[in-house]
Amino acid sequence: MSACDIKFELIWRRGTTDMSLAAWTEHFDPTGGGNFDAQAHEYDETGPAVDYVAGDKFVLKFATVMATGAEAYIPNGDGPTTRGRVPNIRLPK
């Protein structure tokens, strides 16, 4: 594993049109020792209110924007197995 910067983006998608609601970049360093435990990462981001209609989608997009090696970032899809949580979005009511 190697150090990397990851860009996260919350997107509102209607049909073929995407609108970015919030975006941020976070730096991650390897945990060391071949340990694949999840690293804590939680954000509260403010975005505009949207006029949601049936069929619209919210997309959580993340991509490596800089890495020092070939294996730099793996989203935690294993949840508690790696002492983390599955990536998710919580929206206000």
| Per-residue pLDDT at 23 | 94
How does residue 10 score in pLDDT terms, banded at 50, 70 and 90? very high
The two three-digit tokens of residue 88, written as one number: 């998710």
Domain coverage including residue 78:
4-82
pLDDT score of 22 more than 90: yes
pLDDT score of 4 more than 80: yes
| Per-residue pLDDT at 1 | 67
- pTM for the model stands at 0.76
In a domain, 91, yes or no: no
**92 class by beta-carbon count within 10 Å (0-12 exposed, 13-18 middle, 19+ buried):** exposed
Pick the range with the lowest mean pLDDT from 19-23, 24-28, 69-73.
69-73
In a domain, 92, yes or no: no
Q: Hey, CA dihedral for 89, 16, 24, 41, is it positive or negative?
A: positive
In a domain, 38, yes or no: yes
In a domain, 89, yes or no: no
In a domain, 93, yes or no: no
Domain total in the chain: 1
In a domain, 88, yes or no: no
| Per-residue pLDDT at 72 | 66
